[in-house]
Amino acid sequence: MTEATYTVKGMTCGHCVASVTEEVGELPGVQNVDVDLASGRVTITSAEPVPAEKVAAAVTEAGYQLVA
């Protein structure tokens, strides 16, 4: 089990959290997505490491930006 934390820019409400959680949660191998709206942090728990570019693509698909 691995855990990775990213920062997402542009989230302002519960709908934003739900969108990011849904898109990132659909990535293969992702078991849990925890989004903290106040800090913009997204913590992903997965069986194997999920490539950062796939996480960035999912966040972009949700309408937000992964901070590098």
15-27 pLDDT, tens digit each = 999 999 999 999 9
HSE at residue 35, side-chain half, CA atoms within 13 A, is 23
CATH number belonging to domain 2-67: 3.30.70.100
Residue 20 burial (10 A CB sphere; 0-12, 13-18, 19+): buried
Cβ–Cβ under 8 Å, residues 60 and 19? no
Amino acid identity of 33?
V
Domain positions in the chain: 2-67
pTM over 0.85: yes
For residues 24 and 68, the model is more confident at: 24
